[in-house]
Structure 1
Amino acid sequence: MTKRVLLSSLLGIAVIGAMTAGGLAMASTGTEPTVKKESVHYVAPTGGRAGSLTFTAEAHDDSGVRGLKVLAWPASSELDPTKAEMRDVESATCRGTSDETARCVFSLKVTTEEAAALERGTWYISTLATAKDGGTVFQPRAATFDLSR
Protein backbone atom coordinates (compact mmCIF):
# COMPACT_ATOMS: atom_id res chain seq x y z
CA MET A 1 0.00 0.00 0.00
CA THR A 2 2.77 2.46 0.79
CA LYS A 3 4.41 1.73 -2.56
CA ARG A 4 1.20 2.84 -4.35
CA VAL A 5 0.99 6.03 -2.30
CA LEU A 6 4.65 6.76 -2.96
CA LEU A 7 4.25 6.03 -6.68
CA SER A 8 1.12 8.24 -6.88
CA SER A 9 2.92 11.05 -5.07
CA LEU A 10 5.94 10.86 -7.36
CA LEU A 11 3.69 10.78 -10.42
CA GLY A 12 1.78 13.81 -9.11
CA ILE A 13 5.01 15.73 -8.52
CA ALA A 14 6.20 14.88 -12.05
CA VAL A 15 2.91 16.10 -13.56
CA ILE A 16 2.93 19.32 -11.54
CA GLY A 17 6.59 19.89 -12.46
CA ALA A 18 5.85 19.41 -16.15
CA MET A 19 2.87 21.80 -15.98
CA THR A 20 4.99 24.42 -14.20
CA ALA A 21 7.81 24.11 -16.74
CA GLY A 22 5.30 24.35 -19.59
CA GLY A 23 3.68 27.40 -18.01
CA LEU A 24 7.04 29.11 -17.62
CA ALA A 25 7.94 28.34 -21.22
CA MET A 26 4.63 29.78 -22.43
CA ALA A 27 5.04 32.89 -20.27
CA SER A 28 8.45 33.58 -21.75
CA THR A 29 7.38 33.27 -25.40
CA GLY A 30 6.01 36.85 -25.49
CA THR A 31 8.27 39.27 -27.27
CA GLU A 32 8.83 42.98 -27.03
CA PRO A 33 7.87 45.09 -30.02
CA THR A 34 10.49 45.77 -32.67
CA VAL A 35 11.00 48.77 -34.90
CA LYS A 36 12.78 48.15 -38.21
CA LYS A 37 13.29 49.61 -41.68
CA GLU A 38 13.60 53.14 -40.34
CA SER A 39 14.07 55.97 -42.81
CA VAL A 40 14.07 59.73 -42.42
CA HIS A 41 13.75 62.36 -45.12
CA TYR A 42 14.14 66.12 -44.68
CA VAL A 43 13.17 68.56 -47.42
CA ALA A 44 14.05 72.21 -46.80
CA PRO A 45 11.45 74.85 -47.64
CA THR A 46 12.10 76.64 -50.94
CA GLY A 47 10.43 79.32 -53.03
CA GLY A 48 7.78 80.12 -50.43
CA ARG A 49 6.76 76.47 -50.13
CA ALA A 50 6.94 74.60 -46.83
CA GLY A 51 9.46 71.83 -46.36
CA SER A 52 8.94 68.63 -44.42
CA LEU A 53 10.46 66.05 -42.14
CA THR A 54 9.19 62.50 -42.62
CA PHE A 55 10.14 59.44 -40.55
CA THR A 56 8.90 56.02 -41.64
CA ALA A 57 9.32 52.71 -39.82
CA GLU A 58 7.87 49.22 -39.56
CA ALA A 59 6.73 48.25 -36.05
CA HIS A 60 6.05 44.63 -35.15
CA ASP A 61 4.76 42.67 -32.15
CA ASP A 62 3.07 39.30 -31.84
CA SER A 63 0.08 40.99 -30.14
CA GLY A 64 -0.15 43.80 -32.70
CA VAL A 65 1.02 47.42 -32.67
CA ARG A 66 -0.79 50.07 -30.64
CA GLY A 67 1.39 53.03 -31.60
CA LEU A 68 4.75 54.69 -32.15
CA LYS A 69 5.93 57.90 -30.48
CA VAL A 70 8.56 59.92 -32.37
CA LEU A 71 10.91 62.76 -31.42
CA ALA A 72 13.49 64.49 -33.66
CA TRP A 73 16.29 66.32 -31.83
CA PRO A 74 19.67 67.87 -32.67
CA ALA A 75 22.71 65.94 -31.41
CA SER A 76 24.32 69.20 -30.27
CA SER A 77 21.45 69.82 -27.82
CA GLU A 78 22.42 66.74 -25.78
CA LEU A 79 18.67 66.28 -25.15
CA ASP A 80 18.95 62.47 -24.99
CA PRO A 81 15.29 61.74 -24.09
CA THR A 82 14.33 58.90 -21.75
CA LYS A 83 11.68 56.24 -22.23
CA ALA A 84 9.43 58.02 -19.69
CA GLU A 85 9.74 61.35 -21.53
CA MET A 86 8.86 59.72 -24.85
CA ARG A 87 5.35 58.93 -23.60
CA ASP A 88 4.49 62.64 -23.91
CA VAL A 89 5.74 63.32 -27.46
CA GLU A 90 3.88 63.23 -30.77
CA SER A 91 2.65 60.01 -32.32
CA ALA A 92 3.25 58.63 -35.79
CA THR A 93 0.27 57.47 -37.83
CA CYS A 94 0.37 53.67 -37.91
CA ARG A 95 -1.54 51.52 -40.37
CA GLY A 96 -1.65 47.76 -39.99
CA THR A 97 -0.08 45.73 -42.77
CA SER A 98 -0.88 42.47 -40.92
CA ASP A 99 -2.19 41.42 -37.51
CA GLU A 100 1.32 41.81 -36.08
CA THR A 101 2.92 44.58 -38.17
CA ALA A 102 2.21 48.25 -38.86
CA ARG A 103 3.80 50.84 -41.12
CA CYS A 104 4.20 54.04 -39.13
CA VAL A 105 4.74 57.49 -40.63
CA PHE A 106 5.56 60.68 -38.74
CA SER A 107 5.48 63.86 -40.79
CA LEU A 108 5.99 67.54 -39.96
CA LYS A 109 5.66 70.61 -42.16
CA VAL A 110 8.60 73.01 -41.82
CA THR A 111 8.18 76.69 -42.64
CA THR A 112 11.00 78.93 -43.87
CA GLU A 113 11.08 80.65 -40.46
CA GLU A 114 11.23 77.34 -38.60
CA ALA A 115 13.96 76.02 -40.89
CA ALA A 116 16.07 79.14 -40.32
CA ALA A 117 15.92 78.56 -36.55
CA LEU A 118 16.85 74.86 -36.71
CA GLU A 119 20.34 73.83 -35.64
CA ARG A 120 22.47 72.56 -38.49
CA GLY A 121 24.33 69.26 -38.24
CA THR A 122 23.46 65.79 -36.98
CA TRP A 123 19.96 65.07 -35.71
CA TYR A 124 18.54 61.94 -34.10
CA ILE A 125 15.10 60.35 -34.15
CA SER A 126 14.04 58.64 -30.91
CA THR A 127 11.10 56.22 -30.85
CA LEU A 128 8.89 54.44 -28.34
CA ALA A 129 6.81 51.59 -29.78
CA THR A 130 3.87 50.21 -27.80
CA ALA A 131 2.27 46.84 -28.48
CA LYS A 132 -1.39 45.97 -27.94
CA ASP A 133 -0.37 43.74 -25.01
CA GLY A 134 1.33 46.74 -23.33
CA GLY A 135 4.91 45.79 -24.20
CA THR A 136 7.20 48.64 -25.19
CA VAL A 137 10.58 49.17 -26.80
CA PHE A 138 12.52 52.44 -26.62
CA GLN A 139 15.11 53.36 -29.24
CA PRO A 140 17.01 56.49 -28.20
CA ARG A 141 18.61 56.75 -31.65
CA ALA A 142 16.38 54.90 -34.10
CA ALA A 143 17.65 57.01 -36.99
CA THR A 144 20.20 59.72 -37.71
CA PHE A 145 20.12 62.43 -40.36
CA ASP A 146 22.03 65.56 -41.34
CA LEU A 147 20.37 68.92 -41.49
CA SER A 148 22.45 71.16 -43.73
CA ARG A 149 21.83 74.52 -45.31
Structure 2
Amino acid sequence: MPRRIVLSVAAGVVLLGGAGAFALAYAGEQPPSLTHSTARYAAPDGDRDGSLTFTTDVTASSGVKDVKVLAWPANSSFAEQGLTAKDMAAVESAVCKPLDEDTMRCTYAVTVTRAEAKASPRGVWHVAVLAGAEDGTTTLDTEAADFTVM
Protein backbone atom coordinates (compact mmCIF):
# COMPACT_ATOMS: atom_id res chain seq x y z
CA MET A 1 0.00 0.00 0.00
CA PRO A 2 1.52 3.38 -0.90
CA ARG A 3 2.72 5.46 2.04
CA ARG A 4 0.41 8.41 1.15
CA ILE A 5 -2.72 6.20 1.47
CA VAL A 6 -1.51 4.78 4.80
CA LEU A 7 -0.93 8.29 6.15
CA SER A 8 -4.34 9.45 4.91
CA VAL A 9 -6.06 6.48 6.54
CA ALA A 10 -4.14 7.06 9.79
CA ALA A 11 -5.02 10.77 9.77
CA GLY A 12 -8.66 9.90 9.15
CA VAL A 13 -8.74 7.45 12.05
CA VAL A 14 -7.18 10.07 14.39
CA LEU A 15 -9.64 12.72 13.19
CA LEU A 16 -12.67 10.45 13.63
CA GLY A 17 -11.42 9.28 17.02
CA GLY A 18 -11.02 12.89 18.14
CA ALA A 19 -14.49 13.78 16.88
CA GLY A 20 -15.94 10.80 18.75
CA ALA A 21 -14.20 11.82 21.97
CA PHE A 22 -15.48 15.39 21.54
CA ALA A 23 -19.02 14.11 20.97
CA LEU A 24 -18.85 11.99 24.12
CA ALA A 25 -17.46 14.88 26.17
CA TYR A 26 -20.10 17.21 24.78
CA ALA A 27 -22.89 14.71 25.48
CA GLY A 28 -21.76 14.49 29.10
CA GLU A 29 -22.23 18.23 29.53
CA GLN A 30 -25.80 18.40 28.27
CA PRO A 31 -28.23 19.94 30.76
CA PRO A 32 -31.02 17.75 32.16
CA SER A 33 -34.05 17.27 29.92
CA LEU A 34 -37.68 17.18 31.05
CA THR A 35 -40.33 15.05 29.37
CA HIS A 36 -43.88 13.89 30.05
CA SER A 37 -44.60 16.75 32.49
CA THR A 38 -48.16 16.76 33.81
CA ALA A 39 -50.03 18.60 36.56
CA ARG A 40 -53.26 17.45 38.17
CA TYR A 41 -55.19 19.79 40.48
CA ALA A 42 -58.22 18.73 42.51
CA ALA A 43 -60.05 21.40 44.49
CA PRO A 44 -61.21 20.67 48.04
CA ASP A 45 -64.67 19.14 48.07
CA GLY A 46 -66.86 18.88 51.14
CA ASP A 47 -64.73 17.66 54.05
CA ARG A 48 -62.00 16.41 51.72
CA ASP A 49 -58.82 18.42 51.09
CA GLY A 50 -57.73 19.04 47.53
CA SER A 51 -54.37 18.27 46.00
CA LEU A 52 -51.83 19.25 43.40
CA THR A 53 -49.70 16.52 41.85
CA PHE A 54 -46.98 17.24 39.31
CA THR A 55 -44.96 14.52 37.58
CA THR A 56 -42.06 14.76 35.13
CA ASP A 57 -39.33 12.51 33.77
CA VAL A 58 -35.85 14.01 34.11
CA THR A 59 -32.92 12.67 32.10
CA ALA A 60 -29.30 13.60 32.86
CA SER A 61 -26.34 11.55 31.66
CA SER A 62 -24.33 12.44 34.79
CA GLY A 63 -27.29 11.66 37.08
CA VAL A 64 -30.13 13.73 38.51
CA LYS A 65 -29.08 15.69 41.59
CA ASP A 66 -32.33 17.49 42.49
CA VAL A 67 -35.62 18.69 41.07
CA LYS A 68 -37.30 21.80 42.50
CA VAL A 69 -40.97 22.56 41.79
CA LEU A 70 -43.02 25.76 42.11
CA ALA A 71 -46.66 26.33 41.14
CA TRP A 72 -47.38 29.96 40.28
CA PRO A 73 -50.42 31.87 38.99
CA ALA A 74 -50.15 33.07 35.40
CA ASN A 75 -51.25 36.55 36.45
CA SER A 76 -48.53 36.96 39.12
CA SER A 77 -45.41 39.15 39.10
CA PHE A 78 -43.41 36.18 37.75
CA ALA A 79 -45.28 36.58 34.45
CA GLU A 80 -43.92 40.14 34.09
CA GLN A 81 -40.48 39.79 35.69
CA GLY A 82 -39.70 36.23 34.64
CA LEU A 83 -38.91 33.39 36.99
CA THR A 84 -35.20 32.65 37.56
CA ALA A 85 -33.14 29.79 38.97
CA LYS A 86 -32.45 32.04 41.96
CA ASP A 87 -36.21 32.25 42.63
CA MET A 88 -36.32 28.46 42.62
CA ALA A 89 -33.48 27.95 45.13
CA ALA A 90 -35.67 27.81 48.24
CA VAL A 91 -38.73 25.99 46.87
CA GLU A 92 -39.69 22.41 47.66
CA SER A 93 -38.17 19.40 45.96
CA ALA A 94 -39.89 16.61 44.09
CA VAL A 95 -39.39 12.98 45.08
CA CYS A 96 -37.54 11.11 42.33
CA LYS A 97 -37.31 7.40 41.59
CA PRO A 98 -35.20 5.76 38.86
CA LEU A 99 -36.83 4.73 35.59
CA ASP A 100 -33.59 3.63 33.94
CA GLU A 101 -29.85 4.38 34.05
CA ASP A 102 -30.17 8.11 33.17
CA THR A 103 -33.83 8.94 33.83
CA MET A 104 -35.77 9.62 37.03
CA ARG A 105 -39.53 9.99 37.42
CA CYS A 106 -40.04 12.92 39.76
CA THR A 107 -43.29 13.64 41.58
CA TYR A 108 -44.30 16.64 43.65
CA ALA A 109 -47.53 16.29 45.62
CA VAL A 110 -49.09 18.72 48.04
CA THR A 111 -52.38 18.90 49.92
CA VAL A 112 -54.57 21.94 49.27
CA THR A 113 -56.79 22.96 52.17
CA ARG A 114 -60.09 24.77 51.76
CA ALA A 115 -58.51 27.99 53.14
CA GLU A 116 -55.58 27.75 50.71
CA ALA A 117 -57.90 27.17 47.77
CA LYS A 118 -60.09 30.11 48.80
CA ALA A 119 -57.06 32.43 49.05
CA SER A 120 -55.55 31.29 45.73
CA PRO A 121 -55.96 33.39 42.59
CA ARG A 122 -58.42 31.92 40.09
CA GLY A 123 -57.38 31.03 36.57
CA VAL A 124 -54.41 29.40 34.91
CA TRP A 125 -51.39 28.37 36.97
CA HIS A 126 -48.02 27.18 35.71
CA VAL A 127 -45.63 24.69 37.25
CA ALA A 128 -41.97 25.70 37.11
CA VAL A 129 -39.21 23.10 37.39
CA LEU A 130 -35.51 23.52 38.08
CA ALA A 131 -33.68 20.26 37.41
CA GLY A 132 -30.06 19.90 38.50
CA ALA A 133 -27.63 17.27 37.29
CA GLU A 134 -24.68 15.78 39.17
CA ASP A 135 -22.26 17.53 36.77
CA GLY A 136 -23.64 20.95 37.82
CA THR A 137 -25.72 21.68 34.73
CA THR A 138 -29.32 22.82 35.23
CA THR A 139 -32.51 23.24 33.27
CA LEU A 140 -35.23 25.73 34.19
CA ASP A 141 -38.64 25.29 32.59
CA THR A 142 -40.93 28.02 33.91
CA GLU A 143 -44.04 26.52 32.29
CA ALA A 144 -43.47 22.76 32.38
CA ALA A 145 -47.19 22.13 32.91
CA ASP A 146 -50.39 24.10 33.52
CA PHE A 147 -53.54 23.65 35.54
CA THR A 148 -56.61 25.77 36.30
CA VAL A 149 -57.95 26.89 39.67
CA MET A 150 -61.68 27.64 39.50
* TM-score, scaled to structure 2: 0.81
Larger Rg belongs to:
1
Q: Which amino acid aligns with 2:74?
A: A
Q: Give the Å deviation of 1:20.
A: 6.3
Corresponding residue for residue 123 of structure 1: 125
Q: Give the Å deviation of 1:121.
A: 0.3
The CA deviation string for residues 65-98 of structure 1, in whole angstroms up to 9 with x for no partner, is 1221000000111323212221221100001111
CA RMSD in angstroms, aligned pairs only: 2.1
Corresponding residue for residue 28 of structure 1: 26
Query: Secondary structure in 1 aligned to 2:51?
Result: strand
Corresponding residue for residue 108 of structure 2: 106
Q: Point out where structure 2 has 5 or more consecutive residues left out of the alignment.
A: 1-10
Corresponding residue for residue 133 of structure 1: 135
Asked if 1:147 is matched to 2:149, the reply is yes
The CA deviation string for residues 115-134 of structure 1, in whole angstroms up to 9 with x for no partner, is 10010001111100111222
Q: Which amino acid aligns with 1:143?
A: A
Corresponding residue for residue 96 of structure 1: 98
Asked if 1:83 is matched to 2:80, the reply is no
Query: Secondary structure in 1 aligned to 2:46?
Result: coil
Corresponding residue for residue 68 of structure 1: 67
Q: Which amino acid aligns with 2:117?
A: A
Q: Give the Å deviation of 1:22.
A: 5.7
Query: Secondary structure in 1 aligned to 2:61?
Result: coil
Query: Secondary structure in 1 aligned to 2:75?
Result: helix
Q: Which amino acid aligns with 1:113?
A: A
Q: Give the Å deviation of 1:144.
A: 1.4
Counterpart-to-counterpart distance in 2, 1:76 and 1:27: 41
Query: Secondary structure in 2 aligned to 1:28?
Result: helix
Counterpart-to-counterpart distance in 2, 1:104 and 1:115: 24
Q: Which amino acid aligns with 2:45?
A: T
Query: Secondary structure in 2 aligned to 1:109?
Result: strand
Q: Give the Å deviation of 1:55.
A: 0.4
Corresponding residue for residue 7 of structure 1: none
Q: Give the Å deviation of 1:105.
A: 0.5
